Structure 1
Amino acid sequence: MADFDRIATSYNHLKRIVFYGQVELASRHFVENIPPSSEVLIIGGGTGQLLAHFKSTHQINYLELSRSMINKAKKVTTDASIEFIHTDVLEWESDKRFDVIVTPFILDCFNEDSLNLLIQKLKSNLSQGGIWIHTDFCPKNAFQKLLVKAMYLFFRITAKLKVKELADFDSLFIKHGFICKRKVLFYHSMVESKIYQQIDG
């Protein structure tokens, strides 16, 4: 897995320069749809800016591989109850069931084989009727695809990320028994935020 500790201090600044705040808008867009008192699992929340938008009744498990990112996330002012967990999600084990899973710009760090394992693994932690909020890049034209390639090159150099291309997230979720219930586009339709719901459980 990649090591984002080296870029934690400049991560938010880089996102603002490249995407003019659209990444954060997309990440938090569906937070308002999360019912009160929900048990929420956030995977790879980075510096935790979206935590500021959760309510006091939300119970959050915050999984993040980067210790530096967690330290920054802990400084975010939020009313929610949060348990920070420093771990690799592929190695994390829990019998806990969550009403909502949130994956903001993290599934793009996995290849298709790892995503198959990850989605199946997390599916077992999702309560019946629960939702999965996924936000990530979905380039629509040659320029956007080139920008994604450039980002992968940057993170390969700075964070030792081994993945080189985006997986087909929609196909993977469908394969594992999910259906997209809602979708919102950001940044010239390059970024998609979606609510998936399990349909085979």
Structure 2
Amino acid sequence: MSLRIGNYTAFYVAEPFNPSRLGANATRDFLYYNLIKAWSASDASFNFRDSHALTYNVRDGSDWETTLKPRLRARIRASKNVLFILSSVTVNSRALREEIDYAINDQSLPVIVIYPEFTTKESLLSNGGISQRIRNLWANVPVFRDSVHKVPTLHVPWAKDLIKLALNDTDLMNGSGALPIQYFYKV
């Protein structure tokens, strides 16, 4: 078994990729992923180890079954958790379904869900729990909605300090023994 040191980031990228020079960079969720990488590069205490960098890159036109899917799975197996960027533009793509399904239902990885359209702890909550607006986003990726109860899951707004805190939380790492419930930062 490989050493699980990475943070696997799942996010929506349009399929097929945008044929412009921007490619995946034209998809908003991908831009958030790039910002997380930039935070990590500029702040040594931002403990993000990018699982996508653990195996070599693939071309946008690579075959799904023989190249892309096995590469995603190898990256997930090298990860201690999943950062899932979930926004109103997130679409239930084949790759995102595969990533979430394999990470939760096969590898039992804890999930840190990051909501880029919400910027405060309060914005995620209602009546002391996760708001219906947040729960409605889960329907964008039904495999997540239907599997979220199986692993520890932390819901975090788009706030660098809270994402940094989540990345350092040992309860959100593979094998932590944390209960498979919904966690959030209290107000």
Which interval holds the TM-score relative to the shorter structure? 0.3 to 0.5
Name the one with the larger strand percent. Answer: 1
TM-score normalised over the length of structure 2: 0.37
Name the one with the larger helix percent. Answer: 2
